[in-house]
């Protein structure tokens, strides 16, 4: 039979890279439910339920919490391209690859983008951010929460108040942290936040949950233009420039996700089922318990890696819970280790980008994969692989050290 006619049969893999992760089977089951019409009252009911679940996930009372179809950067692009009008000053504090992505999207939106950089493996202090805001006087500050490229997480709890004091709107990219680290949207005064399903939310890539407050809603509504053919009678367009993207136009998405149900795209039915299930899974465990599970897993993994005499990458006080950077020992071939893990054990771990390419492995323990058994399997397989590569380490030390962490935590 020609290859294209054979059934898909992906090999079993344990996805311990920076995402995607193995989706929770409950999410895959939800995705196999029958397709409904986008204005079927049952389906619009699911849309409303999903909004409610996302509000709880984001710890917010925002009216606006919904899905943007597409991977994590779809949510980023919808927010930034709707918010940033040509010439708007935007400040992006960059501490890894995804900060550069925010610069790129803000610049494509026509923003007057200023950026400051922290060395990869570190984050910014609130004072550094405030100084930059005072200097550049941005209308929008765009900041990554957990940058998977460096495995660092920028503390956010003080940044919202600083932005408010200087009349800037704060957008946060929580693609890789929502569900795995605290993202307290209201308490931290985050104006707009986006995420992805394929990391700590245990889903497949392809849907981006976002939320934003009335400050952002007011700002984007000033640019509201509705496409001809669906415009309701008497509609008056906003004074601001038309948003350059139709697909990522927040005011039109808001009309679609609100009682008005004004037609825009056809909602990606199966991805909505997935996102709804992802949110239910986190909320059933409890956001705080999910965060604790990610933190404990991180401690067990890093303790095991250190016991193997491996060096961790970056400022460990600001490490993301769900991704761990490991300095590749000089004596080993990093890509050969990754290939052996994949081919011999079916385990995927990540390499990194830019200045860290070939210097750092990234091990993800997010969402459904954030479990004791995966930590132990990963440590055992990595130790065996490193020994094959001639890297001397005390046999069994890593797994023993990780088990001790779990024992101490009563697990």
Ligand X SMILES: Cc1ncc(COP(=O)(O)O)c(C=O)c1O
Strand order, beta sheet including 64-69: 64-69, 207-212, 192-194, 169-173, 140-144, 89-94, 112-117
Q: Pick the stretch among 9-17, 77-85, 170-178, 209-217 that binds ligand X (CB under 6 A).
A: 170-178
Tell me: does residue 80 bind ligand X (CB under 6 A): no
- Whole-angstrom distance, CA of residue 82 vs CA of residue 220: 6
Q: Pick the stretch among 141-149, 223-231, 284-292, 312-320 that binds ligand X (CB under 6 A).
A: 141-149
Residues between 12 and 31 with contacts to ligand X, criterion CB under 6 A: 18-19
Closer to ligand X at the Cβ: 247 or 406?
A: 247
Closer to ligand X at the Cβ: 175 or 385?
A: 175
CB of 320 to ligand X, least distance (A): 9
CB of 212 to ligand X, least distance (A): 17
Q: How far is CA 361 from CA 127, 318, 320, 347, 397, in A?
A: 31, 17, 14, 13, 20
Among candidates 273, 260, 355, 281, which has minimal Cα distance to 313? 355
CB of 75 to ligand X, least distance (A): 8
- φ and ψ at residue 173, rounded to 5 degrees: -90, 105
Tell me: does residue 175 bind ligand X (CB under 6 A): yes
Closer to ligand X at the Cβ: 175 or 369?
A: 175
Residues between 179 and 218 with contacts to ligand X, criterion CB under 6 A: 196, 205
- Whole-angstrom distance, CA of residue 103 vs CA of residue 147: 14
Do the strands 207-212 and 64-69 form a parallel or antiparallel pair, or are they unpaired?
antiparallel
CB of 195 to ligand X, least distance (A): 9
**Partners of residue 18 on adjacent β-strands:** none
CB of 19 to ligand X, least distance (A): 5
Residues 290-329 as x/- pattern, contact with ligand X by CB under 6 A: ----------------------------------------
| Tokens (6 digits) for 215 | 């400050």
Tell me: does residue 148 bind ligand X (CB under 6 A): yes
Q: Which residue is nearest to ligand X (CB)?
A: 72
- φ and ψ at residue 150, rounded to 5 degrees: -115, -10
- Whole-angstrom distance, CA of residue 409 vs CA of residue 368: 20
CB of 79 to ligand X, least distance (A): 12
Task: Please provide the DSSP assignment of 193-247 as one string.
Answer: EE--SSSTT---SSEEEEEE-HHHHHHHHTT----TTTPPTT----SSPPPS-ST
Under 8 Å CB-to-CB from 119, ≥6 apart: which residues?
95
Q: Pick the stretch among 5-13, 41-49, 139-147, 359-367 that binds ligand X (CB under 6 A).
A: 139-147
Residues between 94 and 123 with contacts to ligand X, criterion CB under 6 A: 98
Q: How far is CA 31 from CA 23, 96, 281, in A?
A: 11, 33, 14
Tell me: does residue 348 bind ligand X (CB under 6 A): no
Closer to ligand X at the Cβ: 142 or 310?
A: 142
Among candidates 45, 47, 44, which has minimal Cα distance to 66? 47
Closer to ligand X at the Cβ: 93 or 196?
A: 196
CB of 130 to ligand X, least distance (A): 23
Quote the Cα angle for 269-271-275, to 5°: 120
Do the strands 207-212 and 192-194 form a parallel or antiparallel pair, or are they unpaired?
antiparallel
CB of 173 to ligand X, least distance (A): 5
Query: Binding residue for ligand X (CB under 6 A) from 90, 123, 176, 308?
Result: 176
CB of 57 to ligand X, least distance (A): 17
Task: Evaluate whether 371 touches 14 at the Cβ level (below 8 Å).
Answer: no
Query: Binding residue for ligand X (CB under 6 A) from 73, 136, 318, 372?
Result: 73
Q: Pick the stretch among 150-158, 169-177, 292-300, 301-309 that binds ligand X (CB under 6 A).
A: 169-177
Residues between 355 and 374 with contacts to ligand X, criterion CB under 6 A: none
| Tokens (6 digits) for 93 | 């504090």
Query: Binding residue for ligand X (CB under 6 A) from 130, 173, 267, 383?
Result: 173
Residues that bind ligand X (CB under 6 A): 18-19, 71-73, 98, 144, 146-148, 173, 175-176, 196, 205
């Amino acid at each position: 039979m020609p290859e294209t006619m054979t059934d898909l049969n992906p090999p079993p893999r344990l996805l311990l890279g920076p995402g995607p992760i193995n989706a929770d089977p409950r999410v895959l089951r939800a995705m196999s439910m029958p397709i409904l019409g986008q204005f079927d009252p049952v389906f619009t009911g699911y849309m409303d339920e999903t909004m409610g679940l996302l509000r709880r996930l984001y710890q917010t009372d925002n009216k606006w919490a919904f899905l943007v179809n597409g991977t994590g950067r779809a949510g980023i692009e919808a927010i930034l391209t709707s918010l940033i009008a040509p010439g708007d000053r935007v400040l992006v504090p960059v501490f890894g690859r995804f900060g550069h992505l925010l610069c790129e999207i803000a610049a494509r939106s026509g923003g007057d983008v200023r950026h400051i950089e922290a060395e990869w493996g570190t984050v910014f202090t609130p004072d550094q951010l405030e100084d930059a805001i005072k200097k550049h006087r941005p209308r929008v500050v765009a900041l990554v929460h957990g940058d998977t490229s460096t495995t660092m997480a920028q503390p956010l709890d003080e940044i919202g108040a600083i932005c408010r004091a200087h009349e800037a709107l704060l957008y946060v990219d929580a693609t890789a942290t929502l569900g795995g680290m605290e993202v307290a949207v209201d308490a931290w005064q985050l104006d707009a936040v986006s995420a992805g399903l394929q990391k700590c939310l245990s889903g497949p890539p392809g849907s981006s949950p976002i939320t934003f407050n009335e400050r952002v809603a007011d700002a984007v509504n000033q640019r509201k233009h509705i496409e001809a053919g669906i415009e309701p009678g008497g509609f008056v367009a906003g004074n601001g420039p038309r948003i350059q993207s139709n697909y990522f136009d927040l005011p039109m998405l808001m009309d679609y996700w609100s009682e008005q149900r004004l037609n825009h795209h056809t909602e990606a039915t199966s991805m909505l089922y997935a996102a709804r299930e992802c949110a239910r899974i986190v909320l059933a465990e409890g956001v705080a318990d999910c965060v604790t599970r990610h933190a404990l897993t991180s401690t067990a993994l890093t303790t095991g890696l250190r016991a193997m005499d491996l060096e961790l990458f970056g400022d460990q006080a600001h490490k993301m819970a769900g991704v761990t950077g490991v300095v590749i020992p000089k004596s080993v071939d990093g890509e050969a280790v990754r290939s052996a893990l994949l081919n011999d054990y079916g385990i995927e771990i990540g390499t990194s980008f830019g200045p860290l390419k070939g210097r750092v492995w990234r091990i993800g323990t997010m969402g459904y994969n954030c479990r004791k058994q995966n930590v132990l399997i990963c440590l055992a397989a990595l130790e065996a692989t490193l020994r094959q590569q001639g890297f001397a380490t005390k046999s069994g030390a890593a797994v023993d050290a990780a088990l001790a962490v779990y024992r101490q935590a009563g697990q």
